[in-house]
Structure 1
Amino acid sequence: METKNIKGTIFENYKPRSDLPALVEKCMNMVNLSAQELELEKFITHDVPLPEINKAFEYLIKGESLRCVICME
């Protein structure tokens, strides 16, 4: 398993201190999830290459995106 670090997020009404542990717990217990309960792909609105990372922040700040995935390749 690959280790992931979450550095930050821009998301209205999201409380990382209380919401993130519950999300991690659900992910670690995937067998207990229904197909509708955790559909993260629906929240990804843009794929942005790393050299254009500032564009991803512009999308988020302007409210034009829910989540941007930064492509490292």
Structure 2
Amino acid sequence: MDHEKPVQEVLAKMTDGGVDRSVECTGNINAMISAFECVHDGWGVAILVGVPHKDATFKTHPMNLLNERTLKGSFFGNYKPRSDLPSVVEKYMNKELELEKFITHQVPFSEINKAFDYMLKGESL
């Protein structure tokens, strides 16, 4: 692929105007912008899942919004702790869910900001 051409332009040419849906999971701000800019005018939907760096700025031309593209976010997969958590606990208690393999760090509550730093740097789950 020609690396001088933005990905969204390549996809627009390949798909005759843009993709119907895109999902961004990395948290990389440039990937987020590309995911939004590669959707089709009029009906394209970009869903941002990744968590960007706290100082990141999402910049795109206003026409991308005026052309009826849709930008959505999905923080924690729209998980609802109050209603969804009891079933997760039950699965864990029945040994149907192995949470231990998802633990990358153990941080005391008094150092909670350190845990958020790990997450924002992409060094933990």
Greater relative contact order (CA < 8 Å, ≥ 6 in sequence): 1
Query: What TM-score, normalized to structure 2?
Result: 0.31
Query: What TM-score, normalized to structure 1?
Result: 0.47
Larger-Rg structure: 2
Greater strand proportion: 1
